[in-house]
């Protein structure tokens, strides 16, 4: 047989494993069987089970995965005598024996393995595992004639066939691992192997050449761990342990490492919080290579010049302290620039493009409209003001600049936005008029005396031209609510129409009816009902009414 790279790998694997701290080796004892042309069942025939034994080596790659090699020697057999149909003996009359050697490289997955963290110690448990891999088997099938001591002519092509005795295999299966101690475990497993040959039993052309033969195996795997000396029992061999007499972590070369980050506590600046080795064991949440303990902004990517804080404009002033975070400026000006060179940063400079004085907020001493008020104090620097009031015109002289005066032509007060306030006399008169406006019973027609009352409302509206009027109608609770609502609205409209006829701007008037809602008297008495049958007149500044409407 030619020496293949795969075979070399199999033979060198045990040597490689011995050098590892997590190496195991043991014996495999069990049985093997096969499925082929001389077996009548779909699976292996139990009666044909033959001994299988060999050496198993294993390298634990992690808590749950291991790399394993098998070197096994076994035997399989088959016979036409196993068939209930006598025609197989008459037609072929074949018996087969095959002594084979098997080399396999497998990966094991033990999902419920109970390895102690950072240690080679194991608890006494059992857990299932599965495996799979590749291999090569060297086969040597031998055909013997049956009881008639002669081969059937149908077997002659197979006897003369030149087939490869090196067979590629794909082994897979599963088992249970019983762990008894740190150095000893027992595994019970079963598996099968796909092969690329139909000559495991020496029969192919005389059987079913379109299908390949399968190998079955099962048995016990006794494994022993080769554990180097470990004085402190921390899972790190003394030869590799930087602290051989003090238990520690594997990543820290056997020295104490509370946070298991690979930096021993004596050198770890953050011994209780895991962090990368390059940062002396301290975490770096924002990934800016500045450890959190030295990072002024541990959750934001930053730079060393700004203490780990972000600096979008690269002016060495952190964004949180930079008054101009999008413009590269100077540290002296908190990250801002000074365009006019007056030593006042632009955001605080009243005139950032003209040289000015700090006493005036950076503004130059100018008076563009020549009204005697410096532009820095002039609210209307381009409009001269004779009143000398904030530099802006004030036509009505009420101390409120026209630009802020709701009634710039009528002198008013600050509380009313520059408009005149409604006099107390006018308010009292409106309240009295509301009581005196009457209608005919069940009608929206005014009685004659009520028209004189409305004439007084018109007079007040003319006197206070900046005010608007709201007319609200009400009734008592007798009758249907819907009827009362319509009646109250009709009475309010009657007043509206009368005042409108007197030449009052309709934009200053509005009306509505509210029926029997909002009573001011007791509807159980005639006097109370009379109070509730009313029309109220409310005046407000026109601009206030517009804002309320909007």
Query: % helix / strand / coil in the chain, to the nearest 5?
Result: 25, 25, 50
* Residue the block writes with tokens 């061999």: 237
Note the pLDDT of residue 7. Answer: 43
Note the pLDDT of residue 135. Answer: 96
Q: How far are the Cα atoms of 25, 113, 181, 223, 536 from residue 186, in angstroms, in the given order?
A: 12, 14, 10, 6, 102
The answer for residues whose C-beta is within 8 angstroms of residue 436's C-beta and 6 or more apart is: 449, 450, 453
* Residue the block writes with tokens 């048995």: 219
The CATH number of domain 424-549 is 3.50.80.10: no
Q: Provide the residue ranges of all domains of the chain, joining segments of one domain with +.
A: 5-225, 325-362, 366-416, 424-549
Terminal C-alpha separation, the chain: 100
5-225 sits in which CATH class? mainly beta
The answer for residues whose C-beta is within 8 angstroms of residue 398's C-beta and 6 or more apart is: 405, 411, 412, 413, 418
Any alpha helices (H) in 27-171, and if so which ranges?
87-91, 156-159
Question: Using an 8 Å Cβ cutoff, are 255 and 243 in contact?
Answer: yes
Q: Distance (Å, rounded) from C-alpha 547 to C-alpha 550?
A: 5
**Common-topology check for domains 5-225 and 424-549:** no
Note the pLDDT of residue 119. Answer: 42
Using alpha carbons only, give the angle 309, 314, 318 rounded to the nearest 5 degrees.
30
Q: Distance (Å, rounded) from C-alpha 130 to C-alpha 210?
A: 30
Q: How many CB atoms are closer than 10 A to CB 310?
A: 17
On whether the pTM is more than 0.75, the answer is no
In order along its 550 residues, the chain shows pLDDT tens digits of 344 444 444 444 433 433 344 788 999 999 999 998 888 888 788 888 999 999 999 998 887 899 999 999 999 998 888 888 887 877 888 888 999 999 999 999 998 875 443 344 445 577 899 999 999 999 999 887 766 556 678 888 888 889 999 999 999 999 999 888 767 889 999 999 999 999 988 888 888 889 899 999 999 988 887 666 666 666 677 777 768 777 766 666 778 777 777 777 767 778 777 778 777 778 878 787 788 778 788 887 878 777 778 877 787 888 777 778 877 777 777 778 877 777 788 787 777 777 776 766 666 766 666 766 766 666 677 666 666 566 677 766 666 776 666 677 666 676 666 677 777 888 888 888 888 888 887 888 888 888 898 999 999 888 888 888 899 999 888 889 888 899 889 989 999 999 999 999 999 899 999 988 889 889 899 888 888 888 989 887 765 555 555 4
Note the pLDDT of residue 234. Answer: 64
Short-list 384, 353, 388, 349, CA closest to 368: 384
């Amino acid at each position: 047989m030619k020496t293949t790279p795969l075979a070399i790998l199999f033979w060198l694997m045990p040597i490689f494993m011995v050098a590892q701290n997590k190496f195991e080796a043991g014996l495999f004892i069990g049985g093997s069987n096969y499925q082929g042309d001389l077996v009548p069942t779909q699976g292996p025939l139990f009666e044909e089970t033959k001994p299988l034994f060999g050496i198993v080596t294993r390298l634990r790659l992690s808590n749950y995965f291991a790399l394993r090699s098998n070197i096994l020697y076994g035997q399989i057999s088959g016979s036409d005598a196993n068939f209930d149909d006598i025609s197989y003996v008459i037609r072929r009359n074949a018996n087969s024996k095959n002594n084979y050697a098997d080399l396999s490289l497998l990966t094991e997955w033990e999902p419920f393995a109970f390895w102690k963290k950072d240690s080679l110690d194991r608890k006494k448990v059992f857990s299932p595992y599965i495996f799979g891999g590749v291999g090569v088997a060297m086969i040597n099938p031998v055909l013997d004639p049956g009881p008639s001591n002669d081969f059937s002519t149908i077997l002659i092509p197979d006897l003369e066939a030149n087939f490869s005795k090196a067979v590629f295999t794909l082994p897979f299966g599963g088992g249970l691992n019983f762990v008894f101690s740190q150095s000893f475990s027992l595994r019970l497993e079963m598996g099968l192997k796909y092969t690329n040959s139909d000559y495991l039993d020496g029969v192919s052309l005389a059987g079913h050449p379109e299908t390949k033969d399968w190998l079955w195996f099962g048995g016990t795997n006794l494994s022993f761990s080769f554990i180097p000396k470990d004085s402190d029992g921390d899972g790190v061999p003394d030869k590799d342990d930087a602290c051989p007499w003090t238990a520690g972590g594997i990543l820290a070369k056997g020295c104490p490492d509370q946070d298991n980050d690979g930096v021993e506590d004596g050198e770890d600046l953050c011994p209780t919080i895991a962090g990368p080795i390059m940062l002396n064991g301290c975490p770096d949440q924002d990934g800016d290579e500045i450890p959190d303990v030295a990072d002024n902004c541990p959750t934001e990517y930053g730079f060393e010049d700004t203490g780990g804080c972000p600096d979008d404009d690269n002016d060495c002033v952190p964004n949180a302290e930079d008054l101009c975070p999008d413009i590269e400026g100077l540290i002296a000006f908190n990250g801002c620039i000074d365009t006019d060179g007056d030593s006042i940063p632009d955001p605080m400079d009243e005139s950032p493009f003209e040289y000015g004085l700090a006493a005036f907020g950076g503004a130059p001493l100018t008076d563009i409209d020549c009204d005697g008020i410096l532009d820095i104090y002039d609210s209307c620097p381009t409009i001269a003001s004779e009143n000398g009031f904030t530099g802006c015109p004030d036509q009505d002289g009420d101390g409120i600049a026209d630009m802020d005066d709701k009634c710039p032509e009528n002198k008013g007060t600050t509380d009313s936005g520059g408009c005149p306030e409604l006099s107390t006399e006018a308010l009292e008169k409106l309240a009295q008029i509301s009581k005196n406006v009457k209608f005919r019973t069940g009608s929206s027609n005014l009685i004659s005396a009520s028209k004189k009352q409305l004439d007084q409302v018109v007079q007040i509206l003319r006197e206070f031209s900046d005010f608007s009027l709201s007319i609200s109608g009400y009734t008592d609770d007798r009758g249907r609510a819907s009827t009362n609502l319509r009646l109250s609205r009709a009475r309010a409209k009657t007043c509206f129409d009368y005042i409108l006829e007197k030449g009052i701007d309709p934009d200053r008037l509005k009306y509505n009816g509210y029926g029997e809602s909002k009573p001011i008297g007791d509807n159980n008495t005639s006097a109370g009902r009379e109070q509730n049958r009313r029309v109220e007149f409310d005046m407000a500044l026109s601009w206030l009414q517009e804002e309320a409407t909007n």
